[in-house]
Structure 1
Amino acid sequence: MSLRVDTARAHRTLAELANLVDAIVASDGELGQESHWLEWKGPLPIDKQEGHFHIARAILGFANRDPERAARVCEGVAYVVVGAAPASVPGVKAVDFADLSQGVDRYVQGVRWTPQYVAHDDKTVLVVTVEAPRSGDPIHTLRKGTDKFDAGTIFHRGAGRTAPANPDEVKMLSDRIVAGLRPAGLTLDLHAEARDALMRLNGSEEAQQGWLGKREAHLRATVEKPVPEPKQTAKASTDDPFGIRSINAGILDGLFSGPADQSAYDGAMKEYLELCRKRLLRNVVRDIVRDARNAVTLAVVNESDEPISDLVVTARIERAPGILVFTSAPDARPMPEPPEWPTPRDALASFIGMHPSVPVMPIPALAGFGGSPLIDQLMFDRAVVDEYDNYFEVSWSVGDLLAESNDETTIYLALGPAAPEQVPVELYARSKSHRGVARGTSTLFVNADSSWQLTDWLDPTVD
């Protein structure tokens, strides 16, 4: 299993840090190894210079991160866990924090970090909390050189590893210093508002089976069957010495309805309903978004008399059962074509050894498109949805926002039967022209009295 921990806020208390250690030990390590906010180490002598350097390097890497990116997880706070790893808790030999700080401070200075011991079973684990980087922070360098790294080395924490900074990362850190000179006080009105009452979709297993049952009943009642003809027997005669007419009669017998046709139709119907079951919900969700239902407007209002440049707004919606977030209609393979009663062509194909399900020619309109609805590609996305363990995050690049002006974008919610009656939305805004983060919260309400049925969006009795 992947690392399961709440990343919407920082972990400060002893209980919260213990939960973080528990999550690391219980995980398979996938998220942590790719994380820019968490690093763990197994056995490490924290009473020796070797251990001091490894801890200092991790602290420097976390301190030299991009403030905007860091702030998306745990409020920008980072953690170095020593003595615990996935499925392993070697622990550490506890030392006095004064001695630990003195050893680490040989290599790092000017970074706010706090050590804390956490008990896991009968082992002691060290958790070092590194405070969030901020605009205006200096570039933190290695104070004392080692055999491998010179004094002055700039470490940066990237995707799962701490390493010397590359030119792009050094530029980011230079820009971070300059950003501290920007005016403070980013004041904006941020809010989310549903255009209409949000509706749940009853897409339960029972509802799907009900839709499939109605669809099958309709198709069986309306399928066109050929009228059976009486069999004709041709006898060999002097005019037909080789029995050609008998062969023709045998072929013609297979062109009319019979028990074999019913069996073939039943098999085709079973395959058809299985395809419908796989595609039904996604087609309905796509249609809900295409119809701009459950639309939510994200708005930002600049009420000040100063313009704001390079503004980016982020909205977070807590992940809960029955909630999906979209910025445009999701891709969905079209519902399959219903089966037809076997035709004379199918009977002839069977007689001469061809598979009746193979079409004579492909359909040019669909060949090569893989079932992707082209209309979805015409919907322009102003925002991007990222999915995390505990929330959906919508990033919206506003750009420059003039004084006393506003801007907005639209997202769409697909809500299942288990969706809550209230959906909180947290909004954050950052700008290159102003320091600080503007925040706003809104609550979206879900209709508790009624919900959509699958038949409201796809009529099972319409071909």
Structure 2
Amino acid sequence: MAFSIDASSAFLLPSQLRCLAQAVRDAGQHDESRWIEWKATLPLGTGQARVHLVKHILGLANRAPDVAARWAGGFGYVVVGVSPGEVRGVASIDHNDLEQDLKPFLGPDLMWNAEYIELDGKDVLIVVVDPPKRGDPIHYLHKALPHPKGNGVVHAEHVVFVRRNARTVKAEAGDWRMLQERFAATQNRLDVEIITLQQQIDGYLRSVYSEAIAARLEESCEELINPRYGASQGDAPLMNISADLAARTRGDYVTDVDNYLRNLEDFLERRLLEEFVQRKSSGLSLVLVNRGDRPFRDVRFTVTLQASGKLHYPGLVDDDLLNASAPLRPHPYGASAQHHALNVLRACRERVEKLYLPDASAPLPQPRYGTSVQHLARHALRALHERTDEFLGSTGGGQKLDPKIDSPREQFGGLEVRECGNGLTLEFDPVDLRPRETQKLPHVPLLVGAEIGEGEFCDELTVAWSAAGLSANGQQCGLFKLPVAIPDSL
């Protein structure tokens, strides 16, 4: 059976690595390639495992960049514990122990990491080797590899391995020429990096916010269902609306309360979402670094975000929504018309004075002696409508305050965001970098869905980046992971 998996992009998330292991299990015996090596099992932490892993990691790191880029974004993979037709697994050891066992032989410049995934109830080790780049040094054996049985050495110090088709072999003349040309590209090599200074990113736990909203709604419902005012018999109607209120039944009042609670729920959901996005710790703050001693012109950056939880880009914080007032409470059942007219007046004044309009920001005029409550209330309503119409007209028709959290494509401040499968792709405007310069990229508001299932939570955000410049050769790429903080309350 052919090795059937889409290798057009990298396998980085645990779910993607599991799919890779499944593809190995379902593959044919001769389906290994330049970018992947597998082994049925190995006793990790022993000399046998050390010889196998070191040899193949070095071979994958010494590939030609243009050839490596054809598969899995240039990454290379060593899979241990699964082979075509069987899953034997491995006895896992600590990541730090594995690193300490291999690093003396691989050297400090070779970038790789190891992940365990579970397949058919057994642990499988997958070593991920970073893509080779132009300007990379030649990776060699930094220390002689002892024979697993203790009889001398298997490979001497300074041996260079390369990946040729589905095999890892010692470098020959043609391989040395390719590796020297790759290293020579360092004279005009792009030497930049994207990093972050934040230690974690806040996850959005919808259940926490739902509980807070439910508590607020329950509190409001209890306050409203029990009327605070008794019916008044002697008050004469002051406005037409008062006659309508006088004829209102308790059923009408309950309907008004239901409508108010629905509006309040919608307002609270949008308001809490905006407050969450406003927190710097909920978004992604990236820093661009020029590691070299020469300037780079028109450097373009692309960042891909992936997580086991759903990712949303909500756009910029909506200051209008943050400053907006909650919906008006319904007129209490049984209240006097005069009391209601005063409430209308008070609400109108508050709403109008909160609209920041440089040419219409003066408070409403104070009532003159002898002015009826009815007249003043009508005046307040008229002023509110006029100022609201003017405000909406100045903003092009008045957009409804409804923040979108699932927009597939938005752009602001030098940043373009697109949905990409289950993740997001960020494209930044080109920048010029002086030698050793550090630049902060635009802050990216982000919603990382913390809940992925019953009792399961998203624990990390994977940030993969690539960079290319007009004044330098090649493309640089890398990745890092940010822990996702799970909130337990607001």
Q: Which structure has greater helix proportion?
A: 2
The TM-score by the shorter chain falls in which range?
A: 0.3 to 0.5
Structure 1 length as normaliser, TM-score?
0.45
Structure 2 length as normaliser, TM-score?
0.43
